[in-house]
Amino acid sequence: MSIVSNKTEPLIYELSSPGRIGAALPDCDVPKTELPKSARAELKLPEVSEVDVVRHFTRLSQKNYCVDLGIYPLGSCTMKYNPKINEEAVKLRGFAQIHPYQDADGTQGALEMMYALQTMLGEISGLPGVTLQPAAGAQGELTGILVIRAYHLARKDAKRKKVLVPDSAHGTNPATSSMSGYAVVNIKTDARGNIDLDELRKLADDATVCLMLTNPNTLGLFEENVQAACQIVHDAGGLVYGDGANLNAIVGVARPGDYGIDVLHSNLHKTFSVPHGGGGPGAGPVMVRDFLAPFLPGPIVVKARPERSRRKGKRYAFAMPKKSVGRVKSFYGNFLALVRAYVYIRAFGKEHLREIAENAVINANYLLARLRDTYSAPYGFRRCKHEFVLTGTPFKEKYGVNTLDIAKRIQDYGYYPPTVYFPLTVPECLMIEPTETQSKESLDEFADALIKIAEEARTNPQLLHDAPHDAPVTRLDEVKAAREPVLRYKH
Amino acid sequence: MPHPYIPNTDADRAAMLNAIGVQSADELFADISADVRDPKINLPRALSELELSREIARLTLQNANLVENACFLGAGAYNHFIPATVPHLIFRTEFYTAYTPYQPEISQGTLQTIFEYQSMICDLTGMELANASHYDGATAAAEGAILAINHTHRDKVIVCPTLHPEYRATLRTYLVGQDVEIVGDEDPSATFDQVLDKHLDDKTACVIVANPDFLGQVRDLKAAADRIHAQGALFIVSAYPISLGLYQPPAEYGADVVVGEGQSLGNPIAFGGPYLGIFATKMEFVRRTAGRLIGQTTDTKGRRGFVLTLTTREQHIRREKATSNICTNQALNALAACVYLSTLGKTGLRQVAELCYHKAHYAAKKINRLPGYRVDLKKEFFNEFVVECPHPVAEINATLREKKIIGGYDLAKEYPHLGNAMLIAVTEMNTKEQIDALVDALAQVKSKKGKRA
Amino acid sequence: MSDKKIVYATDRKYAESHEWAKPEGDLVVIGISDYAQDQLGDVVFVELPSVGATVSAGKTFGVVESVKAASDVYAPISGAVAEINESLKEHPETVNKDAFNAGWFIKVRPSNAGEMEKLFDAATYQGKIEAGEIH
């Protein structure tokens, strides 16, 4: 962190001084027209120079932790390194400066990339029907559920109204189901951390729309009975939705389509290295089995018919799938995110793809091995995949130190804390995902810090209660923020 | 060969597997049934960074970009000037490689910039609160409708036929699982007043209208807002943020929710995404507002700081009871808008808006003087207008392309009643020379098929 | 969660979902228990029905939110809402400070007198919590 980071940075409005401007614009080179009667009287935006703008946002940037500083071990978030060539690609005018409604003969390079990405994602997932349109994982989920809904309705099966969701699922799964008009039925996790098959057998019936399954699940465990679980749902006439949030654990090692998943979304900002951007934009393409492809949102990219191709030089074109559920957003998806994912997959190719999952899983198991004697690992009797969960309950009971205190203290060691208090099924949970882009040395340093914090919890719990000590701000009053919301600058 | 994105060497892996207590990495995948493990995956071969650069160049060079071609295409995505501060600052690694600011103490950069973004959107629209953004203008409009449905407990949504066709399509997809009726756009030629006469009643949850509308027209909507409110429905306005540098903010004529596509605020046109869904409303609807909200508070030492707030509205807490499943925002695009609006400021944004206005009116008047072309100059517009053409638009645009001009949007499919009609957008990026060249080129277009409309 | 001792007021009945009900003249006052407010932490918002609305036993009638949790509030008995605690809008923290008195939620004109009998007394309610039978 920089030397300026602990100073409170004024709001850009507070830096404003009448008469300043941050960019010069050209004079009007055409005859002017009388301005409209409904022109606004005033506009209260800041007035600052270019220098003010650059310094303000640069100083603010230094109050952020980021992947390029070090490990960012948020479980289920896959904060891997974002390759720099991806960022160079998206700045090029042939990608950044093309209009979505241009005639397709002027955008063949963009369409070729999208077609290739569709094909590669279909191959990696084992599910050949692909739409690139969804803007994020949650929108991919909505897309997937609407595709499943359309499939059931096309078969004139309107009685299916419930979606089965394991209790360890991300909150987006139940929220998506109710947004789609379905009731959510929760399924318990068994003692080994798998979906409870007996309960699934009881609940899967002719009212079941689908099972939403995250695999590996949010405990970081591969569902040992995933094929059986999919079979139970299929036997009941339902489909299986795969939440691909944790695809990084198995990419190149196993394909969801091969073990029974019918519909899968993939968060390109997780597995395929699209940067998270402080919370977005992401991209959440959806892959489906052949028989579901006609229902996908469009437009999607297809190879142009040969006769058209001869006539107009078009090799690729947009097309709407025959029974499409419609659009889920305007245009074709978060195009620049797609560019990054395309470049990333090409950088690995068939030779290296599997190394992503293999190293992500080695790193997670290694970190678990380093920490299991100090922290309590409720599923430590199994090998984890890309992530694992620990519980801070012993620290809470013995020293009055809760998981939030541990997380805040981690910041003082110069790291971002893991995901905390999720999944909800593990009390005082810490959920850790190192990803394949951490070196052994960096994992050792991180493990050493966590072990030292555990010692501090024993010897000096107050140090943890008061943490962070070295961050740009100390703990913030969230109760005040919620009771008296201040959501904007008041002039 | 090691891979540059993976630091582990064979020696590291051996040491780590030893510490884990397994012989090989394969043992770590033993819980995956052998019949589905390690399938053959058919991908192209791996490329080195040098080869990747060549591949990227090969793809981009096939696209006709807006630097080398004059662009008169808008229709929801606009070619505007982006000051150098914007790419420079949003490509700072501390911003683009950070995650959602769940740990506020070490995410103050992202949190404060979004708070500033929310403030600027409030200033632009005149509304009391703005969220941290939705995916794009289309999904923001759908979230606005969901807010209105939940607030009014009514199930009819009225859309104006001149709301962007893709926004209407998205709205229908979003609401397909709810028991909601979406009406108003059956007849693409219906005026807004006709739509209200036909559909507005005490069952109406909301009315969604664009201003300027998809065809470029700007309207005084105060009377319509009063009619809508008299029925207890909410009034949702989809706005073009650059136009708000010049025009009255929607709050002043009665909007309850303002949504819009924020791409034009410093985000590249980028073949349709990622864009920025603007969402602003009144404080009374704060708990029905979907998406992230950043709030101001203080730390234990009394210093100002910012946090994600009112999160109990959201899916990670409410789960199946949440009103939306959204769990991201377009943070980097919102940052771009924030840097853009800071850089231009109150005078710069007004200047951009006026340049768009004057240049568009100059172009419209010149085109209207061409034989066979007509622009209805009595309709008030900002920077986009309908041109009735003597030939099919596809033919005209093909001719323009040969002269390095990207022509307007073909309205034939969605608005067939307009005949051969083209929607032309003019921005500050279009010089007088470009506009004059467009006018000359239009004058010279001869129908290839020899047919006239 | 605070360290102070949880109180189980003995002058009223309790539902398994942690609401209390206490007769007051013709009406029944309803709120959430001290245990419930303690589990929630700092309450930041309470959503209540309008006066005149009907509530049914076992059905949700409102929401109580802390920073990290949102809980539905269920009616322990059925009836028509006669009064709501307007002061919670401005001062939701009253629920934490005084869950059994100033922190009441609604007053209901009961439609089924028998329903009160089905609720737990304080000792039973406390016993079930301490035995881990209800959470």
A139-161, pLDDT tens digit by residue?
A: 999 999 999 999 999 999 999 99
* Alpha carbon of A455: minimum distance to chain B alpha carbons (Å): 22
Which chains share 3+ C-beta pairs under 8 angstroms with A?
B, C
Q: Once rounded to an integer, what is the mean pLDDT over residues A238-246?
A: 96
| Cα nearest neighbour of A478 on chain C | C67
Q: Which of B451, B453, B397 is nearest to B424 (CA)?
A: B397
CA distances from B387 to A134, B76, B372, B404, B436 (A): 33, 17, 10, 20, 16
Q: Does A479 contact C44 at a Cβ distance shorter than 8 Å? A: yes
Residue with tokens 């329903």: C115
> Phi and psi (nearest 5°) for A259?
-105, 10
> What is the structure's pLDDT at B178?
87
List the single best residue of B151, B297, B308, B312 to mutate versus C (max C Cβ within 10 A).
B312
All structural domains of chain B with their residue ranges:
70-78+345-444, 85-340
State which H helix or E strand residue C107 sits in.
strand C106-110
The architecture that CATH gives domain B70-78+345-444 is: Alpha-Beta Complex (3.90)
C-alpha torsion sign, points B428, B431, B434, B435: positive
CA A180 to chain centre: 21
Residue A3: pLDDT over 80: no
A24 Cβ contact partners less than 8 Å away, ≥ 6 residues apart: none
Asked whether residue C3 is assigned to any structural domain, the reply reads no
Residues listed for chain B: 453
pLDDT of residue A5: 59
Instruction: Tell me what percent of chain A is helix, strand and coil, each rounded to the nearest 5.
Output: 40, 10, 45
Best mutation target among C1, C44, C66, C135 (most A Cβ atoms within 10 Å) is C44
The average pLDDT across B103-126 equals: 98
Task: Kindly list the residues from chain C whose CB atom is less than 8 angstroms away from the CB atom of residue A478.
Answer: 67
| Closest chain C C-alpha to A465 CA, distance in angstroms | 14
Neighbour subunits, B (≥3 Cβ pairs < 8 A): A, C
C31 touches chain A (CB under 8 A): no
Average pLDDT, rounded, for chain C: 92
Q: What average pLDDT does the segment A256-269 reach?
A: 97
pLDDT digits (tens, 9 = 90+) for A278-299: 999 999 999 999 999 999 999 9
- State yes or no: pLDDT of B451 exceeds 60: no
CATH number of C19's domain? 2.40.50.100
- Please give, rounded to a whole number of angstroms, the shortest distance from the CA of C60 to a CA of chain B: 12
**Average pLDDT for residues A241-260, to the nearest whole number?**
96
The interface pTM score, or ipTM, of the predicted complex is: 0.97
DSSP H or E segment with residue B193? helix B192-199
Which residue is closest to A483 within chain C, CA to CA? C44
Per-residue pLDDT band for B452 (boundaries 50, 70, 90) equals very low
| Residue B177's pLDDT band (cuts 50, 70, 90) | confident
Which domains are assigned to chain A?
A: 85-345 (3.40.640.10)
Q: Nearest chain A residue to C42 by CA: give it.
A: A479
At C1 the pLDDT is 42
A304 pLDDT tier (thresholds 50, 70, 90): confident
Domains in chain C, number: 1
pLDDT digits (tens, 9 = 90+) for A32-81: 999 998 899 899 999 999 999 999 999 999 999 999 999 999 999 999 99
Tokens of B227: 């009619």
Q: Which CATH code of 3.90.1300.10, 3.40.640.10, 3.40.47.10, 3.20.20.240 fits the domain covering B85-340?
A: 3.40.640.10
Which chain B residue has the Cα nearest residue A490?
B119
What pLDDT does residue B453 have?
40
In a domain, C43, yes or no: yes
Roughly what angle, to the nearest 10 degrees, separates helices B192-199 and B222-230?
Answer: 10
Nearest of A251, A330, A340, A315 to residue A287 by alpha carbon? A251
pLDDT band at A390 (very low <50, low <70, confident <90, very high): very high
Asked, colleague to colleague, whether B70-78+345-444 and B85-340 share their fold, the answer is no
pTM exceeds 0.90: yes
Does position B127 have pLDDT exceeding 70, yes or no? yes
Residue with tokens 């403030």: B119
pLDDT at A312 over 80: no
State chain B's mean pLDDT as an integer.
96
- pLDDT bin (cut points 50, 70, 90) of residue C108 is very high
Task: Say what percent of chain C tops pLDDT 90.
Answer: 84
Domain that holds residue C63: 13-112
For the segment B342-348, the average pLDDT, to the nearest whole number, is: 97
> How far apart are alpha carbons A350 and B29 in whole angstroms?
19
Q: What is the pLDDT of residue B446?
A: 83
Mean pLDDT score, A236-244: 96
For residue C2, what pLDDT is reported? 44
